[in-house]
Structure 1
Amino acid sequence: MPILPSVAVVILNWNGKAFLEKFLPSVCASTYGNLQLVLADNASTDDSVAFVRANYPAVSIIQNPRNDGFAGGYNDALQHVKADIYVLLNQDVAVEPGWIEPVVALMQSDPRIAACQPKMRAYHQPDEFEYAGAAGGWMDVLGYTFCRGRILYTTEKDNGQYDDVQDIFWATGAALFIRSACFHEVGGFDRDFFAHMEEVDLCWRLQRAGYHICYCPDSKVFHVGGGSLPQGNPRKLYLNFRNNLMMLWKNLHSEDRWIVLSQRFFLDILAGVKSLVAGKPRDMTAIYRAYRDYCRWRKRYVKKDQLPEMKLMKMRGVFHGIMIWRYYFLRRKKFSELI
């Protein structure tokens, strides 16, 4: 019998006792045969670590000295985890017993697959795809991200329409399977992101390194979403705008960088005006702060990787059009209508 790759499910926690009480039992019921479970705690101030230590002694605990967000927290914790495959799992995700096996089998079928995600359904509407990952992440030519099964805030019901294995542009950080060697080869997450978009940036770098990102429909998980920052929170909006701009500057081919970012600047101004007209001045302020801090970041940015440049249009999981144009003006709100 072939030896199963070692898998470590690593749950990043920050003051998440309520989520751990609810969802950790399903994770502990996983049936994979070569598995370790790890809680990576980001300096929580509640008693979540004591709770896990008392009730789940088989779960290893890594305590980070401070809260450096999703990116820094995982980077620090994964220095202490030895496994062939990491599974980075949000604290607000419920899983089924056999959820790991199909993804590992898919990754083992092709050594070029560096990262993979399962089908992501909404915990509170289990027949619908969930915002954070749905059936795999895509990106358009201007850097706007969306998913098979979710475009902007419109999610689809899962009727089996995306039950095919497919290359995607990015895999959700809420349930990210990634080869540990590949994670460290490209430098892990970018700490400057803190939270949001860091998994998209990581997957972009993995593609630039020659790897594939895949979606595995035979595994499904159920995500609450918004456990740290709910949708509509100006802080989330700020991080999404700032980090998306940083990601584009870092990863776009040098010939495309100014063309794309100048178009984004115009469209983001429109987004800010739309927020103001809609009576959401805090959203407009968040967009302004995102651009301000992105410009400050760019002044001090030093290239961190030596990966080859790659034209975005030649990468997998890229829509060769402008998603927001088709969504708002052509009213195409399903992935099958968009592509």
Structure 2
Amino acid sequence: MSAASVAVVILNWNGKALLEQFLPSVVQSVYPNLQLIVGDNASTDDSVAFVKASYPQIKVIENDHNYGFAAGYNKLLEQVEADYYILLNSDVEVPANWIQPVIEAMEADVSIAAAQPKIKWQKDKRSFEYAGAAGGYLDLHGYPFCRGRLFDTIETDSGQYNDQKEIFWASGAALFIKSKCWKESSGLDPDFFAHMEEIDLCWRLKNLGYKVIYCPAAEVYHLGGSTLSAENPYKTYLNFRNNLVTMQKNLPLNDAYSRIFIRMAIDFVAWLNFLLKGKTQMAWAINKAHYHFLINLSKNGAKRTNQQIRFQKHSGQYPSSIIWAYFIKKIRIFSQL
């Protein structure tokens, strides 16, 4: 039997320096039925020329506009034929055999739609990386966190999360997804632009009855923070807005709005904290996020589907508040939750 076909797709926007640094490892990937693709979001640097000249084995697909992460990938993958897509950030270093273990795990169970490898920090490969670590979880109020990373506390990898298991969301830094599941779920929500889009996608997949897993038999090394820094107000706006939209789209209808109200109240505490610290731009970003969420309630409400399935409890949901656990109970390690 021939191996399932796999397409590694890297979305680029003005990222020549990252491509120069990280493509050398990607082209060394070992898998018997593999396409390597760089999709470009209308870069204004010479990224495309660099890839075409330096890596003729990589297919280049060019978007006519910077559509952001979500819509950018949607447009690219309309032009890619493979059994599996791997959405790989341009700032990820990979070892040669990082694909096969994940594909084998996904092939073993038809109900698995998406997966991620172990994600560690490229600058210190002993440590987990912020965006994904050992698999994504979601708390009662919609806050995402990871095995290996609670807020700013990053664990060192000592093999404590070497068990393959079902999670809530797989990181968009190295997201494996069956192409038929991508198409069935309509891909990423283009209105998100960037941030939280993979959590929304994984939640929708779970509402369709699929599983999302973490596969520690493969690991990759993510630099992180290459597009927007944690202190960027636009990143804060996207995270707060998209988090609320994700809850509205995917929670049971009889539960969604009460939990969103509580979440917005918690957001107010974050807003006040920013204000007291003199970070007025960050506080304003939360105001803007809430405003845009509220004026688009009807639009985003219309995206709710498969109501008969979405009432079930999903693996990877933490039944309490990660805010309370971390800031009040002072829990710093995932295994202590």
**Structure 1 and Structure 2 fold alike (TM over 0.5):** yes
AA at the equivalent of 1:159: S
Residue 194 (structure 1) aligns with: 193
1:66-97 deviations in Å (ceiling 9; x for gaps): 01111000000000000000000000000000
Partners of 2:248 and 2:300 within 8 A in 1: no
Partners of 1:133 and 1:147 within 8 A in 2: yes
Residue 142 (structure 1) aligns with: 141
1:177-202 deviations in Å (ceiling 9; x for gaps): 00000001011100010000000000
Residue 116 (structure 1) aligns with: 115
Residue 283 (structure 1) aligns with: 282
Residue 230 (structure 1) aligns with: 229
Partners of 1:114 and 1:178 within 8 A in 2: yes
Q: Shift in Å at residue 306 of structure 1?
A: 3.1
Residue 97 (structure 2) aligns with: 98
- The 3 A distance-change label for structure 1 pair 177 and 233 is same
Gaps of 5+ in 1: none
1:13-39 deviations in Å (ceiling 9; x for gaps): 000100000100100000101000001
Residue 22 (structure 1) aligns with: 21
Q: Shift in Å at residue 249 of structure 1?
A: 0.6
TM-score, normalised via structure 2 length: 0.98
Q: Shift in Å at residue 266 of structure 1?
A: 1.1
* Cα RMSD after superposing both structures: 1.1
Q: Shift in Å at residue 301 of structure 1?
A: 3.4
- Aligned equivalents of 2:234, 2:142: Cα separation in 1: 20
The 5-angstrom pairing of residues 310-321 of structure 1 reads 310=309, 314-321=313-320
Q: Shift in Å at residue 124 of structure 1?
A: 0.7
The 5-angstrom pairing of residues 167-178 of structure 1 reads 167-178=166-177
Structure 1 segments (4+ residues) deviating >6 Å: none
- Aligned equivalents of 1:14, 1:311: Cα separation in 2: 35
- Aligned equivalents of 2:178, 2:300: Cα separation in 1: 28
- Aligned equivalents of 1:248, 1:195: Cα separation in 2: 16
Residue 87 (structure 2) aligns with: 88
Residue 273 (structure 1) aligns with: 272
Q: Shift in Å at residue 279 of structure 1?
A: 2.1
Q: Shift in Å at residue 230 of structure 1?
A: 1.3
- Aligned equivalents of 1:138, 1:312: Cα separation in 2: 18
Secondary structure in 2 matching 1:72: helix
Residue 38 (structure 2) aligns with: 39
Residue 308 (structure 1) aligns with: 307
- Aligned equivalents of 1:199, 1:217: Cα separation in 2: 19
Residue 329 (structure 1) aligns with: 328
- The 3 A distance-change label for structure 1 pair 319 and 75 is same
Residue 212 (structure 1) aligned with residue 211 (structure 2)? yes
1:37-70 deviations in Å (ceiling 9; x for gaps): 0011000000000000001001001100101111
Further displaced range: 243-252 or 271-280: 271-280
- Aligned equivalents of 1:311, 1:179: Cα separation in 2: 21
Q: Shift in Å at residue 312 of structure 1?
A: 6.7
Partners of 2:112 and 2:213 within 8 A in 1: yes
TM-score, normalised via structure 1 length: 0.97
1:129-151 deviations in Å (ceiling 9; x for gaps): 00000000000111000000011
- Aligned equivalents of 1:263, 1:21: Cα separation in 2: 45
- The 3 A distance-change label for structure 1 pair 44 and 62 is same
Partners of 2:10 and 2:37 within 8 A in 1: yes
AA at the equivalent of 2:270: A
Partners of 1:120 and 1:134 within 8 A in 2: yes
Residue 239 (structure 1) aligned with residue 238 (structure 2)? yes
- Aligned equivalents of 1:329, 1:101: Cα separation in 2: 42
